Amino acid sequence: MVFPYGEWVIISLTLLTWSEKQASRRFFLMLTAAWLVGKGLEILMGTALPWNWHFARLSVMLVFWVWALKRAEHRVFPFLLTSLIFSAETLFLVNEPGVFPYGSWFFALGKLLAAWLSARTYWGTAAALTGSALFNQLFLRFTYDGIISYMDLPNDFTWNVGIGLLSLWAGLSLGWSLYCERKRAEIYEAPEERDLP
């Protein structure tokens, strides 16, 4: 692994929400606890080549998926559509590896657009992407059986881009809602208060 960006983002957000006593600290504490349990499983069980299962990452993804699924409005269709794109990417990479330049980025954008356009909410998109990524780990395991000599499950690209994208999206949406609240407060402010120097 080059650098564990995803893990650092999760621990940083956990510490930030805990220190500021925000309402989301329970969510981030659950993610951190899931990561610790998964890391304990990695240490206890170990993995045999060629499959390097990152139980810490998988447990965080599972907890996040359940959390997002409870808050999602549309659950089935976004999951199926995004899983279809994940499966197409896997089959394309098995049959024609390296033919398509920037294939991972192209498919990541396709997965994001499919999940977002079909779910229409942050939690729906997050549930579709995370659930499809978890399903795809099993699909990868059976698709690449006998073809590869080593593979990380989930791979660094899926993990780091997923964490970065969902964190950036949540941050931008929080910033937008705070901006709208401030503008709304200015509109509803009493006219005589606006005229005061």
As for how many domains the chain has, the answer is 1
pLDDT of residue 135: 92
Mean pLDDT in residue range 144-171: 83
Domain coverage including residue 63: 5-163
**Which pLDDT band holds residue 192 (cuts at 50, 70, 90)?**
low
Give kind and range of the element (H or E) at residue 106.
helix 103-119
The answer as to whether 113 is a domain residue is yes
pLDDT tens sequence across 1-19: 456 777 888 888 787 777 7
Long-range interactions of 10-16: CB distance < 8 A, separation 24+: 10/35, 10/60, 10/163, 13/167
- For residues 71-95, b (16+ Cβ closer than 10 Å) or e, as one string? ebebbeebbebbbebbbebbeebee
pLDDT of residue 69: 92
DSSP 3-state assignment of 94? helix
pLDDT tens sequence across 51-69: 788 888 999 999 999 999 9
The answer as to whether 180 is a domain residue is no
DSSP 64: H
Helix axis angle, 76-95 to 122-143, nearest 10°: 40
pLDDT of residue 76: 92
The answer as to whether 124 is a domain residue is yes
Whether residue 105 has pLDDT greater than 80: yes
pLDDT of residue 139: 85
Contact between 60 and 29 under an 8 Å Cβ cutoff? The reply is no
Mean pLDDT in residue range 92-109: 79
The answer as to whether 194 is a domain residue is no
Which amino acid, 29? L
- Give the separation between CA 60 and CA 54, rounded to whole angstroms: 10
pLDDT of residue 193: 58
DSSP 151: E
Whether residue 90 has pLDDT greater than 60: yes
The answer as to whether 175 is a domain residue is no
Which amino acid, 121? T
The answer as to whether 170 is a domain residue is no
- Give the separation between CA 95 and CA 38, rounded to whole angstroms: 32
Chain-centre distance for alpha carbon 154: 12
**What Cα–Cα distance (Å) separates residue 170 from each residue in 115, 123, 167, 173, 184?**
15, 10, 5, 5, 21
pLDDT of residue 24: 80
Mean pLDDT in residue range 12-33: 81
The answer as to whether 197 is a domain residue is no
The answer as to whether 178 is a domain residue is no
**Which pLDDT band holds residue 128 (cuts at 50, 70, 90)?**
very high
Strands 151-153 and 51-53: parallel
Whether residue 80 has pLDDT greater than 90: yes
Chain-centre distance for alpha carbon 34: 15
